Amino acid sequence: MTENGRKRIYAIVFGLILTGITLAGLELLASLEAPPWPARALRSTPPVNVQSSDFTGLADKPWIFEPYNSWGMRDKERSIAKPAGGGYRAVFIGDSYLEFQLTRLTVPGEVERRFIEAGQPKAEMINLGISATGPRSYYYRMRDVAFALSPDALAVFFFSGNDFLYDGQGYGQGLLPDLVSEAPGGSILGNVMPNANWVLVNRLRLSEMLTTNKPVPQEFDTLAKIARLPPAERTPALVRHVKRYYYPDLSEAQIAAIFGRDGDAFWQAYASGKVDDESLQGWLLNLMTKSEVEKSPYFEATTKELAARLVKDGDIQATLSWLTAMDRAARERGVPLVLFIVPPGSVDPDYVAYWKPWPRFYAFNVIADYRQDRLLEALARTQIRYVDLRKDFQGVRGAYRRSDAHWTDKGVEIAAGRVYEELRKLEKR
C-alpha cells in the first residue's frame, strides 16, 4: 500500500472515531436536558404541570392543577414492572381524548374506578394519552413503551376527526425513516441518540402540538378574561385579539361578522358564569376565521357527497396500515388489543345546534363522519377487534364540549362504561 493510501485510511478511521466521540458527547450533554425513559419516549415537552399562578382564569377549575406523573402523563404514578400479585393491567393509548385537562375525569381513571368497585383493588388502567398525536405515534408508543409495562390488554383510541393520514404516509411507506421525530422510535436519531432527538424536537418545536398552536403570550388567561367581560364588550375585545395575533390584514368589521353571527350565540359555551363553562382557546378562533376567509374545498364540504370527493382510497389504506401494524405487533406478543373509534361531535345534538351558524367550520365534522364510515368498512375486512363508539354516543345531548369537540365528563363516563365492558370480556377470556 502506498504512503498516500495509508494516510487516506488513517484519515477516514480518525474521522470516524472523532465523529463517534462527538456524537457520544452530544448525547451525553442532551441527557442533562432530556427527561429519563420512558418520559422522553412519550412526549417532547416536559410534564404539563399547570400552576394556578400561570392560569388565573382557571382558578374555578382546581382539577386542572393536579400534577402529572413523572412520565409526563395525566395519571397517578406507575411502575414499569407489573407489581407482584398485581391485578388486571391495561394500557390506554391515544390523544387528547385520554389526556384532556379541562375535564375532571379521564377514561382510564374512570375504567380503573369501575374495576376497583367490581372487587379488583389492584387493577391498573395506565394512561398513555398524549394530545395532538396520531396513529404513527400510537404505534411507536405501544411498541417502545406499552409492551415494556407487561399489559394484559391494550386499548387504543382513534379519533375520526384528526387521526387520519394521507396517501404516502402509511406504515412502511417511504424509503427512509425521519431523521428526527416526535415519535423517537420512528426516527433515525431517536433510535441512535434518543436524548438528542428529544432535545431537538423540544427546542425546535417540532411536535405536532407546538407546530399547530401559535405561541401567544398569556393567551389562555387573556381569553378567559374576555369571556367574563360584560356582553357588550366581549365580541369587540375578541375581535381585537384575533386581528392583533392572527389576522392583521382583516378589518375588525370582517372579524366581528364571524363571531357576532346569530346574535350572542358564540358565547353560549363560555359566558354563563358556571364552573362548567368551557375555555376559549386561540386555535379555535384561528380555525373559525380561517374557514370563513380561505377558499378551500375542505371548508365547503357541507354534504356527504362533497366530502366523498376529498377522501381518497389511499388515505384510508394509509391510516389502516398503522392500525393493522399495531394489531399485528400485539398479536405477536400475545397481548389482546381493542381499537375504539371515537366519533366527531356530530353525534351530539347540542353540538350540532351550536355550530349551525358556522357551516364552513362545521364541514370538518361532515368530512370526519364520511372518513369514519370508510374506515369502519375497511376494518370490517380485517381481524382487528374494534368498537364503534358512535353507537354509544349517537343522539346523546351534552356528551361533547361545544368548543373543541372533546368529551364532557358525561361523555367520559359513557366511553368509560363501554371500555370497561370490553375489557371485562377480554379479562374473562
Cell of 64: 386542572
Q: Report pLDDT digits (tens) over 82-100.
A: 998 889 999 999 999 999 8
Neighbours of 113 (CB within 10 A): 15
The Cα-based distances of 16 to 187, 188, 199, 323, 373 in angstroms read: 22, 18, 24, 40, 53
For 351, residues 6+ apart whose C-beta sits below 8 A from its C-beta are 345, 400, 401, 402, 405
Q: Report pLDDT digits (tens) over 140-185.
A: 999 999 999 999 999 999 999 999 999 999 998 876 788 888 888 8
Residues 207/45, Cβ–Cβ less than 8 Å: yes
Q: Does this model's pTM top 0.95?
A: no
Q: Domains in the chain and their CATH numbers?
A: 39-212+312-428 (3.40.50.1110), 219-305 (no CATH)
Q: What is the DSSP string of 121-188?
A: TT-EEEEEE-TT--HHHHHHHHHHTGGGG--SEEEEEEETTT----TT-STT-SSS-BSS-SSGGGBH
- Print pLDDT tens along the chain (429 aa): 677 777 777 777 777 777 778 777 888 888 888 889 999 999 877 555 555 555 666 667 777 778 899 999 999 999 999 998 889 999 999 999 999 888 999 999 999 999 999 999 999 999 999 998 999 999 999 999 999 999 999 999 999 999 999 999 999 887 678 888 888 888 888 888 888 888 888 777 777 665 566 778 888 889 988 988 999 999 999 999 999 999 999 999 999 999 999 888 899 888 766 666 788 899 999 999 999 999 999 999 999 999 999 999 999 999 999 999 999 999 999 999 999 999 999 999 999 999 999 999 999 999 999 999 999 999 999 999 999 999 999 999 999 999 999 999 999 999 999 999 999 999 877
Q: DSSP 3-state assignment of 377?
A: helix
The Cα-based distances of 290 to 13, 194, 257 in angstroms read: 55, 37, 13
Could you give the percent of the chain with pLDDT greater than 70?
93
Is residue 211 within a helix (H) or strand (E), and if so which, with residue range?
A: helix 208-212
Cell of 91: 394500557
